[in-house]
Structure 1
Amino acid sequence: MNPILIAVLLLSGIGLLLGVGLGLAAHFMSVKENETAVRILSELPGANCGACGFSGCAGYASALAESPGVRTNLCPVGGDEVAARVAAILGTEAAKTEKKTARVRCRGTDACRVRVADYEGISTCRAAQALYNGGSGCAFGCIGLGDCVAVCDEGAISIREGVAVVDEARCVACGKCKDACPKKLITVTPVGAPTVLCRNPEKGPATKAVCSMGCLGCRLCEKACPHGAIVMENGVARVSRSKCTGCGACVEACKFGVIYLK
């Protein structure tokens, strides 16, 4: 028999056997999709940010479909509209989503902070942090090279006077900027919750020497709060959300405007 014909027949036979084997494997080993999860996933925004607490939109959809205790209002990107559509699929009552926003815990603009060097290198915060904090005298403040800006899909962050600033009207609280910041300065917090815009734990004189807008640990805010909602931790004021009523007494007491309350 012709050797070429033999080779063709052998290859055809191998291909046929492999095809049959793959077909049988697909039939007996396939995992059926949860139709409810597929429907829920089609309603989610697809940001895959993980702000809901799950691995992404698919993970959240699967959890909603398989675990009755998972809340339908955990997606900050989709908001109330998506929560209502998901609740309709599950046949449950729609719950309101808590509006959250990212905030940068630093107010040390170029005019406020001391510079100890001029940074000339890779224009990212992560790279600059490894080399004299990008030239800033404060080792705890915003470097201002925009790693957070680069990852924000909503265009909600900009660099103004050397510091990252969040446009809360555009922010969807996905948390990507929080993960991108090498200084861990960005927090995701409920809108309306007070935020201390400083993370420098050094004593007052040391903080003041590098930034005129830093928290000095003077305790004026702590003394002014009638609800005991402010405590000092590592030299920086911290607000307890469970105790805070939003009265604004701490904001008025702070001489440097470090506490933000919208």
Structure 2
Amino acid sequence: MNTAVMILIVMGIVGITFGFILAYANKKFAVEVNPLINVVEDILPKGQCGACGFAGCQAYAEAVVLNPDVAPNLCAPGKEVVAKAVAELTNKTIDKVEPRIAHIKCAGTINKTVKTYNYEGVEDCVAANLLFGGSNGCKCGCIGFGTCVENCPFGAMKMSSDGLPCVDLKKCIGCGKCEAVCPKNVIEILPVDSQVSVNCNSKDKGAVARKLCIAACIGCGICAKNCPHGCIKIENNLAVVDFYICNEKCNNPVCTNKCPTGAIKTKTSISIENKKTLVAITKHHAVTK
């Protein structure tokens, strides 16, 4: 009994001693936090998307307050309103905030692509990609399990009934979270005012690409030849658009007129397709419920 009491007394003394030591150390080595950091963090949208390049809103708030080289307009979800507020609080100049949006570089729906095998496993694009690059015949195309949708912090993406992710143009702020998790690099972040976009990611030669997906870009170069401003080039059998030159010089995109597969589309046609897809998604969920 005496031994047990002595043990308790010794443990209590040791605990109290270490408590005083920790309290002293905490006071002695405490780092004073700039109160402006909390003010900046409070006006950020708290999406924790990482689009700014930092690990969350608090990390960006600390960086933009303490580092004079960190721009005040890096918060994509906050857009221009938040950028102006951060610039005012940190006494920094602000460049023009360019709105961005996610774009799916694939039109290979279930009925347009060839499957090489039946995949049975975890319904995750990253996991499926580990098994021979996924079951999609086109190894550059969307795998279709919606990992991008699950990782969108703003609910701006949904899986359509034909197996492709669809972007809600009103909700997407171009944070790039979906782009980062896609194992096929099928998603790209474009300026919101982009005139045209290429709905394909295939690097295969024309005959092979067409055989695997009837909506694939075949690298024929017709779009490049029809572009009067030289905005389009064929790289690795795929049409690539210089969006900045296109937006600056082109008022009437004619490059899409003669595309044999419809792989390159104008902004108007993309918006219409997205709206139709979102309607189809809503109807599909209503039926399944």
Q: TM-score, length-normalised on structure 1?
A: 0.90
Corresponding residue for residue 280 of structure 2 = none
**C-alpha RMSD of the superposition:** 2.2
**TM-aligned CA deviation for residue 259 of structure 1:** 2.1
Corresponding residue for residue 29 of structure 1 = 29
Corresponding residue for residue 272 of structure 2 = none
Letter in structure 2 aligned against 1:211: C
1:55 and 1:261 map into 2 onto residues whose CA distance is 35
**TM-aligned CA deviation for residue 42 of structure 1:** 1.4
User: Match of 2:255, SS?
Assistant: helix
Q: 1:3 to 1:200 in 2, by over 3 A?
A: closer
Question: Percent of pairs identical after alignment?
Answer: 37
Write out aligned runs for 1:215-254 (5 A): 215-244=217-246, 245-247=249-251, 248-254=253-259
Letter in structure 2 aligned against 1:257: G
Letter in structure 2 aligned against 1:86: V
Assess if the C-alpha contact under 8 Å between 2:49 and 2:153 holds in 1: no
Is 1:129 aligned to 2:134, yes or no?
no
**TM-aligned CA deviation for residue 132 of structure 1:** 4.8
**TM-aligned CA deviation for residue 95 of structure 1:** 5.3
User: Match of 2:10, SS?
Assistant: helix
Q: 1:6 to 1:112 in 2, by over 3 A?
A: closer
Assess if the C-alpha contact under 8 Å between 1:147 and 1:180 holds in 2: yes
Corresponding residue for residue 176 of structure 2 = 175
User: Match of 1:37, SS?
Assistant: helix
| Residue 203 (structure 2) aligned to one of 193, 201, 204 | 201
Corresponding residue for residue 211 of structure 1 = 213
Is 1:50 aligned to 2:38, yes or no?
no
Q: Which range moves more in the overlay, 17-26 or 58-67?
A: 58-67
1:62 and 1:162 map into 2 onto residues whose CA distance is 41
Corresponding residue for residue 189 of structure 1 = 190
Q: 1:24 to 1:196 in 2, by over 3 A?
A: same
Assess if the C-alpha contact under 8 Å between 2:198 and 2:240 holds in 1: yes
Structure 2 unmatched runs, 5+: 268-289
User: Match of 1:189, SS?
Assistant: strand
1:121 and 1:11 map into 2 onto residues whose CA distance is 53
**TM-aligned CA deviation for residue 44 of structure 1:** 1.0
Assess if the C-alpha contact under 8 Å between 1:208 and 1:216 holds in 2: yes
Assess if the C-alpha contact under 8 Å between 2:106 and 2:186 holds in 1: yes
Is 1:258 aligned to 2:260, yes or no?
no
1:68 and 1:135 map into 2 onto residues whose CA distance is 48
User: Match of 1:249, SS?
Assistant: coil
User: Match of 2:202, SS?
Assistant: coil
2:201 and 2:213 map into 1 onto residues whose CA distance is 12
1:17 and 1:101 map into 2 onto residues whose CA distance is 57
**TM-aligned CA deviation for residue 47 of structure 1:** 1.8
Is 1:87 aligned to 2:87, yes or no?
yes
1:3 and 1:130 map into 2 onto residues whose CA distance is 61
1:57-113 residue CA offsets vs partner (Å, 9 max, x unmatched): 122111211233432221111122222322332245665532111111000111211
Write out aligned runs for 1:6-25 (5 A): 6-25=6-25
Assess if the C-alpha contact under 8 Å between 2:229 and 2:250 holds in 1: no
Q: Aligned pairs, how many?
A: 262
2:4 and 2:206 map into 1 onto residues whose CA distance is 87
